[in-house]
Amino acid sequence: MTMKIEEKVFDKLAEILKKHNLSEIEYKYDNIKIKLASQPNNNVVTQISQGQNVSRETFSKEEKSSEPDWINHPGAVKSPMVGTCYLAPEPGANNYIALGDSVQEGQPLLIIEAMKVMNLIKAPKAGKVVHIAASNAEPIEFGQLLVVIE
């Protein structure tokens, strides 16, 4: 089958699949149908149909992702506990950090509330905030990625 489909179409469909926590998504245009299905083993199955011709491809999400592997980044700051994440010291206040900020070692990054105790999470090293994975007022698991500092 000789058809050219831009990779950004697959990236956008995969993004929608992940964002809305869907198990599969199907997109049709002209006589082409693209179907992406997420599997429990972290693989995505892609099926492309043009008329009667069908092509299937299975790939791992990591292989197709243009997103860096933040969880294994040397500057990854992970949660030391289970709790609720707060990005600011109090409601209505500015967040402790923003993407692109320079931080010093020991500077507050966020708060994790656990059992009614507010635990201040501080920068383990100086550097630039290149990724913020945590969201305000969201539950956090032990070992979950919070921030990446380079």
**pLDDT of 61:** 47
**pLDDT of 46:** 64
Residue with tokens 């083993």: 41
Sign of CA dihedral 96, 102, 106, 109: positive
Q: Under a CB-based contact definition with an 8 Å cutoff, are residues 86 and 110 in contact?
A: yes
**pLDDT of 55:** 57
Which candidate, 107, 95, 81, places its Cα nearest to that of 132?
95
**Collapsed DSSP state (helix, strand, coil) of residue 20:** coil
Q: Under a CB-based contact definition with an 8 Å cutoff, are residues 51 and 36 in contact?
A: no
Q: Per residue of the chain (150 residues), give pLDDT as tens.
A: 445 666 777 778 778 877 777 778 887 777 777 877 776 555 666 666 666 565 555 554 444 445 677 888 899 999 999 999 999 999 899 999 998 999 999 999 999 999 999 999 999 999 999 999 888 999 999 999 999 999
**Collapsed DSSP state (helix, strand, coil) of residue 34:** strand
Residue with tokens 């429990």: 40
